[in-house]
Amino acid sequence: KPSFELVRVIEIAGRQGVATDGEAYFASSSTSLFRYSKTGQLLAENAKALSDLPLKANHIGDISVHEGELYAAIEFFEDGRGQDIQIAVYDARTLTYLRSMPWAPESGQVEVSAIAVDASQDAIWLTDWVSGHYVYRYGLSSGRYRGKLHLRAPPQWQQGIAVFDGDLYITADDGDAEYGEVDNLWRVPADRESTAAYVAHAHAFREFPRAGEIEGLCFDAAANEMIVLSNRGKRIVLGMPKGLYPGYDREIHELHVYRIRGTQPKH
């Protein structure tokens, strides 16, 4: 299985999710979407990305891009749960809202933190930050709920998800920054035929200058790179901001770009 070597870091504005189409980087904050060049130049921004949605919303999680469209995991987060969960789709160039796919409450999902388009399986995968026992699968072409995959054992506080070489990679905010514990990357087969799959450890993020809050991730297959968004400087306790750590006057949001070892670039 692949290993990961940090090759560069890019500071950006978004603090939630990241995606790439190989030409640009896309990022999200709680209410905004951004498009950056791969060197970190801001190319476009939608500061009111939630204003046209059919359901009330206050939080955008991790994002994914497919065929010129940006897919966002969106909800109204309140009292430790997500309400009015929806998959919102935006134009990847203009970042304008296009349409939404509804959530299936019967799935048992109570929060949405991240989304990954898995075009090879006509699937969309969703994570749940509150109760991470399952990842949830919707049809890419239909937008309908198709099933869920039981994670054994589930990573704690799942923040990002992406598909690479037939596997789901999940970032987890499972390190306590109060004690300098690092966050981790986990791998599980993207198997839509099974009801359960075993989770394997893929990477510990020891390269970050300070333990903080891991967020979304994506893969640039052509460049053979993995991109991970992480925040540092702000104290986050149970998902809520509690001031800044000593030595910081603001929270810093950074894309960490890793070279993938053990695989070949896909053109």
State pLDDT tens for residues 85-131: 999 999 999 999 999 999 999 999 999 999 999 999 999 999 999 99
Q: Where are the domains of the chain?
A: 28-211
User: How far is 33 from 14, CA to CA, in rounded Å?
Assistant: 7
| Residue 64 banded pLDDT, cuts 50, 70, 90 | very high
pLDDT (average), residues 133-157 = 97
Tell me the pLDDT of the chain averaged across its residues.
95
Query: How far apart, in whole angstroms, are the C-alpha atoms of residue 8 and residue 135?
Result: 30
Region 144-163: mean pLDDT is: 97
CB 62 within 8 A of CB 158: no
Spatial CA neighbour of 70 closest among 60, 58, 82: 60
Domain 28-211 CATH superfamily: TolB, C-terminal domain (2.120.10.30)
Q: What is the average pLDDT across 8-32?
A: 97
Query: What was the pLDDT predicted at 1?
Result: 87
Q: What is the mean pLDDT of residues 192-205?
A: 97
Q: Which amino acid is at 160?
A: G
pLDDT of residue 263: 80
Confidence of residue 267 (pLDDT cuts 50, 70, 90): low
Order of strands across the sheet that contains 25-28: 17-20, 25-28, 33-36, 42-46
Q: Which pLDDT value is given to residue 178?
A: 87
The confidence score (pLDDT) of residue 78 equals: 85
DSSP character string of 30-58: SS-EEEE-TTS-EEEEETTTTTT-SS---
**CB-CB contact of 124 with 116 (8 Å):** yes
Q: What are the tokens at 246?
A: 């000593």
Phi and psi at residue 254, to the nearest 5°: -135, 140
pLDDT at res. 79: 80
pTM of the model: 0.96
> What is the model's pLDDT at position 209?
86
Q: What percent of the chain has pLDDT over 70?
A: 99
What 8-state DSSP symbol labels residue 105?
G
Q: How confident is the model at residue 265 (pLDDT cuts 50, 70, 90)?
A: confident
Where is 256: in which H helix or E strand? strand 252-261
Residues 9 and 38 sit within 8 Å (Cβ to Cβ): no
Distances (CA, A) of 35 to 25, 114, 137, 154: 6, 18, 26, 32
Residue with tokens 């994506």: 218
Tokens of 42: 């801001």
For residues 194, 200, 204, 205, the Cα torsion angle rounded to the nearest 10 degrees is -10
Q: What is the pLDDT of residue 242?
A: 87
pLDDT for 266 equals: 74
What are the CA-CA distances from residue 210 to residues 13, 15, 202, 205, 233 (Å)? 18, 16, 20, 10, 8
Cα atoms in the 13 Å half-sphere on the side-chain side of 262: 9
Angle at alpha carbon of residue 171, lines to 62 and 221, rounded to 5°? 75
Stretch 33-47: mean pLDDT: 98
Cβ atoms 162, 168 nearer than 8 A:
yes
| Interval 171-187: pLDDT, tens | 999 999 889 999 999 99
